[in-house]
Structure 1
Amino acid sequence: MSKMCEVCGKKPVVGSTISHAHNVNKRRFNPNLQSVRALVDGKAKKIKVCTSCIRSGHVVKA
């Protein structure tokens, strides 16, 4: 299962952690995904949705 929002398509982005000594390491910023029972085509289905889609009302909960 991919770490991607099924409504808006938000997925992880890559960045860097930079220490005080400027040591640079790669890191991932993952979206805040939640499993939600939502209405998809009139039927209840479990989907992974980011919290910004839930708060903005793009998802109708079953």
Structure 2
Amino acid sequence: MSILTIHPKDEAQETALKTILDGFAVRYEIEPDETEYLMSSKANEIALDKSIKQAEEGDVVKIALDDLWK
């Protein structure tokens, strides 16, 4: 059988899809979104918050596209 990946646009759509799948007894898995995964540990949360703060303050390194693979 095929594997389908569905991307609901909001919670209402997600709830409706779950109801339909449950009604047809279709097995499905829910994976955490990227932010939820990144915030899953305290160390990741601290590192992500630090990176966001650095970016907001302009403390970033810019690499030209041509220099990316050198």
Structure with more contact order per residue of length (Cα contacts < 8 Å, sep ≥ 6): 1
Q: What is the TM-score with the length of structure 2 in the denominator?
A: 0.26
Structure 1 or 2: more helix by fraction: 2
Q: What is the TM-score with the length of structure 1 in the denominator?
A: 0.28
The structure with the larger Rg is: 2
Structure 1 or 2: more strand by fraction: 1
